Chain A
Amino acid sequence: MSYFFQLVISGVVVGSIYALSALGFVLIYKSSRVLNIAHGQIIAAGAFITYGLTVWANLPIYLSFVLSMILTFFLAMSVERIFLRRLIGEPIISVIMVTIGLMSILDGLIYLTPFGTENFSFPPFLPVTPIAFFGVSISWTQLVGVIVTFTLIAGFSWFFKKSTVGISMRAVSDDQLASMSIGISVPRVFGLAWAMAGLSAAAAGGIIGNITGLNFDTLHAFGIVVFPVVILGGLDSILGAVVAGIIMGLIQQFASGYLDGNWGLNGTGEVLPYIILLIILLFKPHGLFGIHEIERV
C-alpha cells in the first residue's frame, strides 16, 4: 500500500509541474489561438537562466528564481512583439510554422551554450534527507517545488478571475471585436499572454531543474508532454490544464510503477500520454474542459 502512496506523491509532484507548463501554453492559445511549439524551449531557457544567476552570478536561489521569471517575462513578450505581432490575421498554418522556426532558433542558441550538451545540477540548498511518514517519503526539493507550483497556479487563477488585466484577457479570448469596442487593446493583451506564459514557463523550468537536474533533453521533453496534457484538459481551459496535468503525472507514475518490468513492458510511462492523446482526439476532441463550439444557424 505504501508503494501506491509513494506513486501518488511522485505523480502529483510531476503532474503539478505539467500543470504549470501547460498553463503557459493554454494562456497563449486561449488569447490568441496560437499553438506555441517552442514552449519547451522557453521552459529550458527559464531553467538555464535560473542556474546561471544562482551559480555564476552567485545570487540566492530564491532571488534568481524570481529574476529568471521576470527576465523570461520580457523575453517572451519581445518574442511576441517581434515575430508574432505582424502575423495577426495571417492563416494559422503560417503562425505555427513561425513557432516551429522559433523552436529551431532557440534550440540552436541553447546548443551554443554549455547547457545544450552537458548536465548540470543546482547546488543543494534544502536538507537532503527526505521527509518520511507512514512509509512514504518525499524529498525537500519535491515538497518545496509542489508548494511553489500550487501557489503560482492559485495566483494565476486569481489573476484571471479578478484582476482587470486578467478579465480583459478573458474578454479578448471570447470576442476580439467586442473587446476592442469597449476599449481593450488586443495586441497588448497578446503581448501580456506571452509574457505570462514565459513567466510560468520559467517557474516550471526552475522547479524541474531543481528536482531532476538540468538536462536539455529532459526539460525539452516537458514542453512536448504539454501537448497530451492540453489536449486532455481542453486547449482553451486553464482549469483543464491543471487537472489534466495532475492526471497525466499520476498516469505516468502508475504506468511506470506497475507495468514496467512486467509482461516484458518498459517505458510505458513515456508512451502512455501519447496513447491518451490519440484516444482523446478520437472520442472527445474538445478535451475534458474545452469549449464545444456550437453554431446556431
Chain B
Amino acid sequence: MEVNDVFEKVKSLFVDELGIDESKISMEAKLEEDLEIDSLGIVEVVMAFEDEFGIEIDDDELADVKTVGEAVNLLHSKI
C-alpha cells in the first residue's frame, strides 16, 4: 500500500468514524490542535487504526506522533 493510499484510508476513518470535518485533514494537520483529538480521542484513533489495518500499535510508538502525516508514516511502516 502506497503512503497516499494509507492517507486516504486514515482520512475516511477520521471523517466517518470520528466525525471530523474533512476539509481540516491534511498530512500537516496536527492531531490535537487542528483536529481536536484529545488524549481520550487518541486511544480511539489507535483502535480504529488497528481494526482497519489489522495491526497492533503500542502506546510508546505513538509518543512522537503529533500530525496526520506522522501517523500515516507509522502505519505505512507497519503494514
> Are A and B interaction partners?
no
Chain B residues near A (Cβ < 8 Å): none
Chain A residues near B (Cβ < 8 Å): none
